[in-house]
Amino acid sequence: MKGEDLMYDVAIIGGGPAGLSAGIYAARANLKTVIIERGLHGGQMQNTLDIENYPGFDTIEGPSLSELMYNQALKVGVEWKYGDVSGVDLEGQPKTLQLGDGILEARSVIIASGAKPRPLGVPGEAEFTGRGLSYCATCDGALFKGADVIVVGGGDSAIKEALLLTRYAQSVTVVHRRDALRAAGILRDRVFANPKIKFVWDSVVERVEGNARVSGVVIRNVKDDSTQMLAASGVFIYVGVDPVTSFLQGSPILDEKGYILAGSDMATTIPGVFAAGDVRATSLRQIVTAASDGAAAGLHAYEYLETL
């Protein structure tokens, strides 16, 4: 792979909304741009059925928005490469990215690798993943028609997926460690009005039970330490996300949680290296903010390259 013909002006790690937006802005600035993505274009948008807070659309399906962004990026000249970045050398020039089939070189790098669902880390979770336990109701909800399912979490993602699951499941029980939801007001209104959804407050999952497939979870009340078994055919977990930055292990641009430290210009402390989207240390992680980050990263990468 190594060679002048594969020397890019901008290499973007990640093809979600941040990476796609960065690619569009970089390519429109006439930069030789490549996006490296290990999964589907659109990232987590592919796992979201209905998006209701992206400007310009009352409601749009996540895969549809992913396709629109992806096609726009290709139209303006972004190159697309499927691959998994396993290591990097970001100091100096050129920057190098280690992929499964060799080395890719670029004069600047935008890291938009996003975040992945955080596991609970309890007994039975790993064993039953894909056997009744899931982190994506959009992907797997249709498998639980007429079933009783559990959703673990109380934020926007958990409540959106609980509402989605009512299209298929007989009942949805939301288990939340607090006594109030953290989800947005409009989502709280919808979930409390849905007769298929019930709540178990102040509780955490201690372990996942089952034989060949999930049969339920043992939960513990955090106030009185009592435990109980909740029977269910499916368990969906939404307790947060962790940044995808294992390829940056030990890098000075990471904070203590593994997120990338970058300023309002998306620049890190390494010249020519930028970060955008959910992988960045920021207080808000939404599709619209990821796209905004990507636009800023693409433009500031152009400005950086003009100084070389």
Q: What is the tens place of the pLDDT at every residue in 136-163?
A: 998 889 999 999 999 999 999 899 999 9
Query: Residue 222: CA atoms inside 13 Å, Cβ hemisphere, count?
Result: 11
Q: Does 171 have pLDDT greater than 70?
A: yes
Contact 120, 152 (CB under 8 A): yes
Does residue 202 carry a catalytic annotation? no
Does residue 156 carry a catalytic annotation? no
Does residue 139 carry a catalytic annotation? yes
Within 10 Å of residue 246's Cβ, how many Cβ atoms? 12
pLDDT band at 5 (very low <50, low <70, confident <90, very high): low
For the record, the structure tokens of 259 come out as: 């997120």
pLDDT digits over 201-213, tens only?
999 999 999 999 9
Options 9, 89, 101, 140, the catalytic residue: 140
Options 5, 50, 84, 139, the catalytic residue: 139
pLDDT score, position 283: 83
Options 136, 148, 202, 242, the catalytic residue: 136
3-class SS letters over 67-121: HHHHHHHHHCCCEEEECCCCEEECCCCCEEEEECCEEEEEEEEEECCCEEECCCC
The whole-number average pLDDT for the span 29-44 is 95
pLDDT score, position 4: 45
Q: Give me the chain's average pLDDT, please.
A: 94
- Give the CA angle between residues 51, 55, 58 to the nearest 5°: 55
pLDDT digits over 92-125, tens only?
999 999 998 789 999 999 999 999 999 999 999 9
Cβ neighbourhood burial of 3 (10 Å; 0-12, 13-18, 19+): exposed
pLDDT score, position 1: 43
Domains of the chain with CATH codes? 4-116+241-306 (3.50.50.60), 119-237 (3.50.50.60)
pLDDT band at 22 (very low <50, low <70, confident <90, very high): very high
Flag the least confident range among 2-6, 86-90, 173-177.
2-6
Distance CA 202, CA 236 (A): 18
pLDDT score, position 2: 46
Q: Does 228 have pLDDT greater than 50?
A: yes
